[in-house]
Chains A and B, each alone.
Chain A
C-alpha cells in the first residue's frame, strides 16, 4: 500500500469511499420496500405455521417415532454450517495476512451472525414445547452434547457480534461525523451512541487492534467447536451413518463450502444493488472461487473417506443404510448433491473462465442448494432404519416427508436470516470504511475530520 501524501487527494478519495460505502444506508426506493415486504410476508406466514404447530403439537410435522429429527434439524445443521464462514474469512484469513479478503470480512460476519442466530431459533422450532426451553439450562446435563452445542452456539453468536462491532466503531464515528440530513434522526443518534464517542487517537486504535486480535484467535477454537459439537450430536450415537469418527472435520469442511458460497452470493448482491463494482472487484470473486475449490476439495476428500471406507466393508446395518443412499430411495438426491453440488463446481471453478463474478455466483447458488440437501441426507436416512426390527407400526412411521407446515417454517428461517442481513446492511456499511481507506493509502488522521458542509 502506498501512502497518499497530498491531503487534497486523501480527502477526495476518502469522500468518494464514504459516499460509495454509505449508499446502502442512504438508498431508499421502491425495490427496498418491496424486498422488505416479501421478507416480512414470508416471515408472517412462517410464524403463523409455527403458531399452528405450537397449538397442535409436533404431530403437524412429518416427524414420527422413528424419524424424530426431520427438516428442522437438517436446516439447523445447514445454518450452523453457513455461519462458520465468519471464522474462516474474518479470522483465519485475516490472521494469515491475506489482504484481498479484508473487504469481505464484514459480509462474512453478517452471514455468520444471521445464520447462527437463526440456528438457535430453528432449534426452538423443533421443540414440541418451546415454553420449556429454559429447562435445557435449569436441568442441563453436562455430559450431553446437546448442552455443549447450546453453549457453543451462544458463545459463537456473542463473539461474532463483537467481531462485527469492534471494527465498526471507527466507521460509526465516520458516519456520525459526516452524515446528517440524508439520514433519519434515530439513526444518527444510534451511531453516536454506538461509536462510544470515538476520537480516533493512537491509543484507541491500539485497543481496537488488540481486542480484534484476541477475538480472532478466540473464534478459531470456538468456531471449530461449534460445528464439531454439532457433528457430535450425530457421531456420539451408535447409529449406522452417524457412528463415524471423522464427523467433526467432515462437518467443518462441509461448512466452509456452504459458507463461502453464501458469502459469494451476498457479495454479488451488494455489488449489483449498491454499485460496489470497485469494492467487490472481479479479483475478489476469482479468489473466492479459488477458495471454494480449495474447501470443496477438502470436503470431497472427507466425503470419499466417509462413504468409501464403510462402503468397502458394508457391515450389516451400515450396508443397508449405504445401499439406501447409493441405489435406494435417496440415490437421486445423494448423487445430484455430490455431483452437481460438489464435484462439478470444483471442476468448473478450476477454469479462469468460470471465475468471473456472475458465474462464480451462479455456481455458488447451486453449491448452497446442494449443501442444504446434503444435511437432509445426513440427518434423515439414518433415522429411517430403527435399531430393532419393528412390526405393526403405522406406515407413515417408515418414511419421512416434510409437511407444508414444516416447509413454511423452514422458509421462515431463510427469510428471517435474509431480514437480519438486510437490516445490518441498511444500518451499517457493508465494507469496513476505515480499513479499506487505510488500505488505499489514506492516513488515519483524515478519518476524524468533519467535512465542510457544501
Chain B
C-alpha cells in the first residue's frame, strides 16, 4: 500500500517537474559548452557593444539601468543574474534561436557578430574584471547655429572639468538630425576640433515642410549629459510635396468646393419654383384688383 502511495507521489513530482521545465529555456547539452571563438578583449567587447546598441537595446535597455521594455516575460538586463548565469554557449544559443518575443538572430546577425555580443555581455559578469568601463556621462553644454544661405550648421561644445573650470569639448562626435513627425532623422555626424567647434554642411536633398523649412536638431552622444539643441527652422530643404487628397469629381460638401453645375442646378430649380410662385401670387393680386373695379 505504502509502496503504491510512494509511486503516486513520484509520479506527481515528475509531472509537476515537467511543467516547470517546459517553462524554462532549455539549451541542448552539446550547445551549452561551446567555446567562444573570438578572444575576450577590449576591441571585441566594443564591437559587441556597437551591435548591442543597434539590435538589442530597444528591448533590453542600457546595461545596468534595468530600463528594458515592459514585456512578459521581461527582457532581462545585461547585468542581471538571469543573463549572467548563462554560459557563453547558452548565450549564443539563446540569441540565435530566440523564444517568444525574443527574436531569433541567427538569420539577422552573422555568427561572429553574435560571439562579439557574447563578449559584450560577459564584460558585465561579476566574476570577470571588466575590460570596458564606462565613465559616468559628463555634464556638457552645446550651442549651435545655422546659416540659411550656405546650409552650414556651426556647433560649439564645452564642459566643466573637475575643478569647475570651463573647457572645450574636443574630438567629440556631434549628431546632426532633422526634426520629423515621429522623432529625429539622423543626417550626419561631425567631430569637434580642438576649440570644441565643428561645422556641418547639410545635404541639398533634405525634405522640409510645404515651403522647404527644416528644423535641425543637434545633440551629443550617450557619454554626455547635454540638452539637445533644436534650431530655429531655416529654409534649406526641398519643399514637401502635398498630395491632392481630394480627388476631382468627388463632391466635397463645402461652399468653396461645390461644383458649378450643382450650384446652378440648385439655384435654378429653387429660383424657378419661387418665380412661378411669385407669378401665382401676382395672379391673386390681379383677382383682387378685378374685384375692386
Contacts and interface: CB of A to CB of B under 8 A. Distances in A.
Interface of A: 141-144, 148, 151-152, 155, 158-159, 162, 165-166, 169, 196-199, 201, 203-204, 207-208, 210-211, 214-215, 218, 221-222, 225
7 contacts: A143-B258, A159-B273, A166-B280, A196-B284, A199-B290, A204-B291, A207-B287
Chain B: number of interface residues, binned into ranges: 20 to 34
Interface stretch (B40-48, B49-57, B263-271): B263-271
B287 A155 contact: no
Contact of B266 (A142, A158, A159, A203): A142
A201 B290 contact: yes
A155 B276 CA distance: 11
B280 A162 contact: yes
Contact of B288 (A152, A196, A215, A222): A196
A245 to B, nearest CB: 16
B258 A203 contact: no
Contacts of A210: 283
Given A141-B258, A143-B253, A204-B287, A222 B280 contact: no
Contact of A208 (B251, B254, B287, B288): B287
A203 B280 contact: no
B257 to A, nearest CB: 8
B274 to A, nearest CB: 7
Contacts of A218: 273, 276-277
Contact of A197 (B251, B257, B276, B288): B288
A141 B251 CA distance: 12
Contacts of B277: 155, 158-159, 162, 218
Contacts of B284: 165-166, 169, 196, 211
B286 interface: yes
Contacts of B257: 143
Nearest to A152: B270
Given A197-B292, A214-B279, 14 more contacts: A141-B255, A143-B257, A144-B253, A152-B270, A155-B277, A169-B284, A197-B288, A199-B291, A207-B287, A207-B290, A211-B283, A214-B276, A214-B280, A221-B269
Q: Which 5 A-B pairs have the closest CB atoms?
A: A197-B291, A211-B283, A196-B288, A143-B258, A143-B253
Nearest to A198: B291
A132 B168 CA distance: 66
A155 B274 contact: yes
B254 A143 contact: yes
Contacts of A204: 287, 290-291
A198 B287 contact: yes
B262 interface: yes
A10 B270 CA distance: 45
A141 B259 CA distance: 12
A196 B291 contact: yes
